[in-house]
Every structure is written in C-alpha cells, then in structure tokens.
C-alpha cells in the first residue's frame, strides 16, 4: 500500500536514484528562489491565476520540501516518490508553454531544444517512481 511505511532496505541503485533526485530537486528549488527566478517565471503560463513570482517561489519551496522528503524519509519513499512524480506532471504545462511561446530560458534558445526538453519530463516521472520502489512486487496478502 502506498501509505504504509517501507520496512525493507532499498536496493543501492534505487537508493542512489532517490538521493540523486532529491539533490537535483533541492538545487532546482534553490534556483527558483534565487538566481534563476526570472527564467522560471518565463515558464509560468499566462492562464495560471496567480502572480508568476508567487508561483515560482511556491514551486521552489515545494521542490525543496520534496527533496528533503526524498532524502530524509526513506521509510516513506513510495509515497514521496509518487508525490514527486505528480509534481513533475503538474509542472509540465510550463515546459509546454516555453515551447509553444518560443521562450528562451535555461539556455534553450531554439524550438528544437525546447521540444527535446519536453521528452525529458516523462523520464523524470519514471525516475521518481523508480527511486521510490524496491523493485519487487508486493506479496499477495492472505486476509483470511
């Protein structure tokens, strides 16, 4: 079950993937709050009903929180990884917005580069799920 804490040790590769993703999220979250704030604002679609700076600051704080959870809460890695995957899905419209509106940000200054980036978002979703699992199927429960 997703909400049940993990009691087994996670395989090393998956633990490394979880911690590495946490570090990447922390770096991105810090970028939201500091030097890359303007570039992240450029990705916020105009239809979002909040101030772009607020969205960038809030999403940066969420990223930092998710990073901490990935690293510091390994017993809840399954739940946290699914929340991270959902977060990556939720911010995907920003990547689409950058492509559709031809917005130069993060060194992506051609439509081909921006389009290529779109294909990496599903990779992040898969990475998050991979990083939160043990690689084994759950044993069927006998509730008799």
Q: Give the model confidence (pLDDT) of 12-48 as tens digits.
A: 999 999 999 999 999 999 999 999 998 888 889 889 9
Asked whether 77 and 70 are in contact (CB, 8 A), the reply is yes
| Residue 126, token pair as written in the block | 């898969």
In the block, which residue shows the tokens 């600051």?
Answer: 57
Rg (alpha carbons) of the chain, rounded to whole number: 17
104-142 burial code (b ≥16 CB/10 A, e <16): ebbebeeeeebeeeeeebeebbebbebbbbeeeeeeeee
Q: What is the pTM of this model?
A: 0.84
């Amino acid at each position: 079950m997703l909400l049940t804490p993990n009691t087994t040790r996670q395989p090393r590769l998956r633990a490394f993937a979880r911690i590495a993703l946490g570090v990447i999220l922390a770096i991105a979250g810090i970028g939201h709050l500091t030097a890359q704030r303007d570039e992240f604002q450029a990705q916020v679609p105009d239809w979002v009903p909040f101030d772009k700076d607020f969205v960038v600051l809030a999403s940066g704080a969420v990223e930092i929180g998710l990073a901490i959870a990935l690293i510091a809460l390994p017993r809840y890695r399954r739940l946290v990884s699914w929340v991270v995957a959902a977060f990556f899905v939720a911010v995907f419209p920003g990547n689409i917005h950058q492509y559709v509106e031809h917005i130069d940000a993060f060194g992506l200054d051609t439509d081909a580069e921006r389009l290529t980036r779109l294909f990496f978002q599903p990779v992040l979703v898969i990475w998050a799920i991979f990083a939160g699992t043990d690689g084994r199927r759950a044993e069927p429960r006998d509730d008799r």
